[in-house]
Structure formats: structure tokens, C-alpha cells
Chain A
């Protein structure tokens, strides 16, 4: 068969399916009260890597409550999962699992593209769990009607991972770093004394530090109404700070993820400001540097200012059209609200829970041998409770691209931060038809 013929046939069947689509709304369970023994069936769950593993180890505990539900966790690469999810949803739900994880900053986009793709968890009573989670996380889980379409799982409280030998060699005390000005001054000292730069940034492709800095100041690419906001005063201040670092030669231009890891494990940079998940990366790729890494909070923009920010995080969704919707919901509810399941995910695989009661677990007080015997988990728990909310919106990916371009313009082409951000805001407006805050 010629490709164009198959294409034509495929296109026809898509439109046919679309015509008869819009089926199965959540059946039953509307009262949220069901007897666990009555829930049964087989469900499939998608996740990547350590996230998949951490759901795997929770199955046993889940089956104690729901003995008749069989759970299969499939470990799929991150980008691969999104490719398959998108194709499956676009094709009307074929080949999809019952439950899948989705990163928080991508969630809005999926909900906007496929409004009927995910089960409304509020109909199953997830609202009862609302106050069990960090506040900044909750809002991002809901659709426009205020219903839960995803259950909050992990978050990425951000901190500064720092190389202890380099700090000691330069005689810098991390406790003295409270503001970004302190951070830059410390960076200059370290550069003079040791030759190491302060932070790795993948300048033209990733603006993680910029995002953390915006979040510190309670702003993001878009405001709470979804208007473009990255060019506001706070955004300008953030980018100007990063530019100042670059001008003082404190920024190592890291080529992608691998470049960032290389700079980290070879003493080329003294700090890496990142989400809590980077702890696992350092431990995996530099096991011989045990005891040489510590963590402190992100610096604030003014003395005594906010030092809590978030970078990353993910959630669980139930796919609409699942044959065992009730069982799928049961698993999602158990896994995201059971303290033991969440603490195990952290202690075994470094995945940080957004479930607040998990923070009371003794594990959080434990000192981590790799991180110089500091109780870094309680530090991150403390950070996660103070994070200000961010509105990612369905245009997050576009905004990230233009924001990274603005960063590249400011740092590599010496553009004025305010102008570079304004340009980015215009480009985003052009592509998304969103309003720009003046």
C-alpha cells in the first residue's frame, strides 16, 4: 500500500472516531465512597525511570487495601512517554494506560489540547485531600472549573548545591550568602582563589535559574490571569542579576544536560542552583564525591526576602476511557496520599513528595551521608512549604523557548535585559494571542 493511501485511510478513520467520540464520562463512584473490596481489575501505569520504580514498590501496600486490583507499571523514557501520550490522545485514546504521570508544567498544555482526555478526579472525591498538599502545588492540578484533573505527586523545592572543598579553599562560608549580591561576591572570591566558576547555565537552551528567580519573587512567565508577565520589574531584575554574573565570569556556559553534569562533577563550578531532584543526579554520577556536597537555600533579592522556590514536579492523571477507571483512581489516590508510599519514593529514589504529612516522617530528620551529614531533606521540606504559586498555563513550552532566547540575547549578545524580555513577551503574544501586561 502506498503511504499516501494509508494516510488517507488513517485520516478518514480519525474523523470518524472524532465524530463518535466524547464518550464515557466518569461512571459511578460519584459519591467517592466505595468499599475497597469491591474495586477490582487490572490497571497499567506509565512512568519514567526512578518514578516508575517508586510506584512499583508501592504496589504491595496498595494491594493490602485493594486486594483485587492488579497493577502493572511500565517504565518509559520521559520524552517517549509524552510522544506516546500525545499520539494516543490524538488518536482518541488507543494504546494508552489507565494512569500516567505528567510533569506539572506540561499539565495545562495537555488539558488545553485534550480537555476530555483525563478523568475529573473531583467526581471521585479527590477534593477531600485538598488541604493535604503544599498550597502552591494544588492550584496547578485543577482545570478552569476548579476540578482536579491530576493528583499532586512530587515537587522540586529548589536549593543551591555547593561544592564544599571549593568553598573551604576560598574561605567562603555558605551561611553568609543571603542575597544574590552576597552570592555574586562569594562567586568572585571563589573564582579568584580556586579558578572555579560559580554556576553552570545552558545559556541558549534553558532558563532554569531565571525561572527560580522569578518564582522567588512570586512571579512567572504568566500572571494568575494568564497574561504575559515575564518582562515585569521582577523578571528584569532576575535577568540583570544573571547577566551581572556572566559579566563577572561566574557563569559556565554548559552544553545541555550532559554539560551541566560534567561541570558539576569536575569541580568546574562551585554551586548548582537546581531542584531537589538534582541530589540524585550528583549521587549517581559522582559517587566518589561523597561528603563534598552541601545545600543551602536560594539567595533572596533583598535582605530577609523570600528564599523558597520550586523547579519541576509531576502528577498522576487517570486517562479517560480507562476500562477500570475506579481501580485507576484508587491507585492514584492511594499513591499520592499515603505517607509511607511517598516517603519510600523519597528514601529509595529521591523523589520529593508534595504530601505535607510525609514531612513528619522521621526520615526527614535523618542526616544524609552523601551530603556531608546535613539533614537536607528537612531543609527541602521547609522550602517546599514556602513556595509561591506559579501559573504555568498551556503556553509554558513556548514561553520557555522565548525566555531562553532572551537570556541568550542578554548574556551572549550583550542585549539590555529589559529590552530582551520585552522582545520575548512580544513574540509570545504574537504566537499565543495572550495579552501583555504593560
Chain B
């Protein structure tokens, strides 16, 4: 009798839990599904009431139009080149800077770090015009480096790395030094491997920042053959004539790399969260 009752409550509990999870999954997946619906239907279809939830047969037509309008493959290449280069270099710079702030004693360290924190608070738009002027003077308008360089030393990423690196025991670094390792070697063979979860988090953050970066690439990349994905998609939004099929398709394509990148780094990311709590 009691056994049965227990069983029922467990089943009830589980049902409740799974219902909740199901709703969560539905809520987070539906926008993506809706995007996919939009991408496979002609433009006006997403306006219909009640909403049309069946994928249509316009995928290839939308793709053709999209490619005709913005040269989607070229645009994806631009985005990948810019974002991957940026992420790799920026992770290096930010972790090196974070390491220096966390573990080295040098004159003016704290004031410089304080200024770095202040830099986080400078709104993006304030730097827009001066930075643009700089790029124009150097003759870098319409180049990859104009998009990649300005944010390489990303204050928030440096801050994040510094906080994480503080947890590295000084004795570990001392031991490496006693064994005769140079500072570079310590950084690459001792510090970075222990920081993999933090590096993954920062890499995901920087990748998403640059992949979605809009205003700066818009301003500095004038030539449509240099456009990144967000800029190209936005160029499809005119005034009263908008082809939503193309836009939804472009948006769908633009979410794929982020998903892939996240899945690749996910294990590092999660092992970082669980690190130390479970002994295997």
C-alpha cells in the first residue's frame, strides 16, 4: 500500500518535472523552428493567422534570391575569416594580459587595471567616429584588419581571465621557475592548460561578440563584397518592401556556426563548471 503510494508520487513528480522540462525545451526551440519555417516559405507566409507551422518548399528559391542579393557564401567566408582570426588572437592577448594583471607585480598595475575597468563602461558608440576616422586615415576602410584589430584587447575578457588566473597557486609558478622554465614557457605549458575551461568560456564569448558584431563592421566595411553576415542581412531591410523568406534563411544560416562552435567547446565549458566537484 505505502509502496504503491510512493510509486505514484514518484511518477507524479517525474511527470511534473518532465512537463516543465518539455515546456522549457519547447520555448527555447520554437523560435528556431519558426525561423526555419520562415526560411522555407515565401515572404508573406510568416504573417498568416493562424500561423503556418509546416515547412514550405521555398528553401532553394530563397537561397537563390539571397545569394543573388548579397552573395551569401562570400559573406559567410568573410564572417568566418574575421571571427576565427579575431577569436584566436584575442584569446591569446586577453589571457596574457589577464595573467600579467593577476600574477605579476609591476609599477602602476592597479591603476592600469582600474582604467581597464573604466574602459568596459565606455559605450560602443562613443568610440565609433574617432575609430572610423583613424581607420580612414590609415587607409584601412574595407579591410579585415579594420574589423579585427580594434577590439582584440577586449576589456571584459581580460577582466575575466585575470579573475580566473588569480586562482593559480603562486607555488606552482615558483616551482616552474625553479625548474628553469622561462616566463613564456610557464605561460604556455603551465598556465594555459590549467585554464582550459576559462579559455573556452572566453573564446565562446569573443566568438559570439565578433560573429554578431554589427555597427562597427557596417560602418567600416563599405564594399558589399566585404560584408559580414549581420551587415549583409541588415542590408535586406529596405523600407516598405522586405523579403522575409530571404532574411529568415540568412538568419538560420548565421546561427549554425555559433551552435557548432559552442558544441565543440561545450565539454571544456561544462567540465569547467564541474571541475573539482567530482572525483573520478
B48 CB within 8 Å of chain A: yes
For residue A94, which residues in chain B have a CB less than 8 angstroms away from its CB? 132-133, 136, 141
Residue of B whose beta carbon sits closest to that of A278: B240
For residue B151, which residues in chain A have a CB less than 8 angstroms away from its CB? 3
B12 CB within 8 Å of chain A: no
B106 CB within 8 Å of chain A: no
B130 CB within 8 Å of chain A: yes
B171 CB within 8 Å of chain A: no
Specify which of B47, B48, B115, B136 is in contact with A4 (CB 8 Å cutoff). Answer: B115
Given A4-B115, A7-B126, A284-B43: A79 and B132 within 8 A (CB)?
no
Given A10-B134, A87-B132, A90-B129: A2 and B44 within 8 A (CB)?
no
Within 221-264 of B, Cβ neighbours of A (below 8 Å) are at 222, 224, 231, 234-244
Specify which of A10, A77, A90, A258 is in contact with B235 (CB 8 Å cutoff). Answer: A77
**CA of A349 to CA of B237 in the docked complex: distance in angstroms?**
15
Residue of B whose beta carbon sits closest to that of A48: B238
For residue B122, which residues in chain A have a CB less than 8 angstroms away from its CB? 3-4, 7
A123 CB within 8 Å of chain B: no
B119 touches A277 (CB 8 A): no
Specify which of A10, A258, A281, A286 is in contact with B130 (CB 8 Å cutoff). Answer: A10
**CA of A77 to CA of B115 in the docked complex: distance in angstroms?**
37
Within 37-89 of B, Cβ neighbours of A (below 8 Å) are at 42-44, 47-49, 69
B9 CB within 8 Å of chain A: no
Stretch at the interface among A112-120, A171-179, A262-270: A262-270
A397 CB within 8 Å of chain B: no
Specify which of B49, B134, B215, B239 is in contact with A266 (CB 8 Å cutoff). Answer: B49
**CA of A74 to CA of B132 in the docked complex: distance in angstroms?**
20
- How far, in Å, is B96 (CB) from chain A's closest CB? 14
Specify which of A4, A48, A80, A92 is in contact with B239 (CB 8 Å cutoff). Answer: A48
Stretch at the interface among A11-19, A127-135, A142-150, A424-432: A11-19
- How far, in Å, is B30 (CB) from chain A's closest CB? 17
B128 touches A87 (CB 8 A): yes
Specify which of A10, A79, A84, A268 is in contact with B133 (CB 8 Å cutoff). Answer: A10
- Which of B126, B215, B234, B240 has the largest number of chain A CB atoms within 10 A? B240
- How far, in Å, is B134 (CB) from chain A's closest CB? 5
Specify which of A79, A88, A284, A285 is in contact with B237 (CB 8 Å cutoff). Answer: A79
**CA of A134 to CA of B151 in the docked complex: distance in angstroms?**
49
**CA of A262 to CA of B47 in the docked complex: distance in angstroms?**
5
For residue A356, which residues in chain B have a CB less than 8 angstroms away from its CB? none
For residue B220, which residues in chain A have a CB less than 8 angstroms away from its CB? 95
B137 touches A95 (CB 8 A): no
Given A6-B134, A13-B137, A91-B136: A281 and B241 within 8 A (CB)?
yes
**CA of A84 to CA of B218 in the docked complex: distance in angstroms?**
7
**CA of A6 to CA of B131 in the docked complex: distance in angstroms?**
7
A95 touches B235 (CB 8 A): no
For residue A349, which residues in chain B have a CB less than 8 angstroms away from its CB? 241
A20 CB within 8 Å of chain B: no
**CA of A48 to CA of B98 in the docked complex: distance in angstroms?**
44
For residue B130, which residues in chain A have a CB less than 8 angstroms away from its CB? 6-7, 9-11, 13-14
A75 CB within 8 Å of chain B: yes
A83 CB within 8 Å of chain B: yes
B231 touches A2 (CB 8 A): no
A10 touches B47 (CB 8 A): no
- How far, in Å, is A311 (CB) from chain B's closest CB? 11
A261 CB within 8 Å of chain B: yes
For residue A78, which residues in chain B have a CB less than 8 angstroms away from its CB? 237-239
A49 CB within 8 Å of chain B: yes
**CA of A303 to CA of B166 in the docked complex: distance in angstroms?**
80
A80 touches B234 (CB 8 A): yes
B150 CB within 8 Å of chain A: yes
- How far, in Å, is B233 (CB) from chain A's closest CB? 9
Residue of B whose beta carbon sits closest to that of A94: B136
For residue B115, which residues in chain A have a CB less than 8 angstroms away from its CB? 2, 4
B150 touches A6 (CB 8 A): yes
B127 CB within 8 Å of chain A: yes
For residue B239, which residues in chain A have a CB less than 8 angstroms away from its CB? 48-49, 51, 78, 277
Residue of A whose beta carbon sits closest to that of B116: A2
A281 touches B240 (CB 8 A): yes
**CA of A94 to CA of B139 in the docked complex: distance in angstroms?**
10
Given A49-B241, A74-B224, A91-B133: A261 and B47 within 8 A (CB)?
yes
Residue of A whose beta carbon sits closest to that of B115: A4
For residue A280, which residues in chain B have a CB less than 8 angstroms away from its CB? 240-241
For residue B116, which residues in chain A have a CB less than 8 angstroms away from its CB? 2
A412 CB within 8 Å of chain B: no
Q: Mark A335-354, 1 if CB is under 8 A from B, else 0.
A: 00000000000000110000
**CA of A13 to CA of B136 in the docked complex: distance in angstroms?**
10
Residue of A whose beta carbon sits closest to that of B158: A2
A50 CB within 8 Å of chain B: yes
B20 CB within 8 Å of chain A: no
B134 touches A13 (CB 8 A): yes
A287 CB within 8 Å of chain B: yes
B153 CB within 8 Å of chain A: yes
B197 CB within 8 Å of chain A: no
Residue of A whose beta carbon sits closest to that of B133: A91
Q: Which A-B residue pairs are the 5 nearest by beta carbons?
A: A10-B130, A49-B238, A94-B136, A285-B44, A266-B49
Known: A74-B222, A265-B48, A285-B44. 18 other contacts (CB 8 A): A3-B122, A3-B153, A4-B119, A10-B127, A10-B130, A10-B134, A13-B137, A14-B133, A48-B238, A49-B242, A50-B238, A77-B237, A78-B238, A88-B219, A91-B133, A92-B133, A95-B222, A284-B241
13 contacts between A and B (CB under 8 A): A1-B153, A3-B127, A3-B153, A4-B115, A49-B238, A74-B222, A74-B224, A75-B235, A77-B235, A77-B238, A87-B132, A277-B239, A285-B43
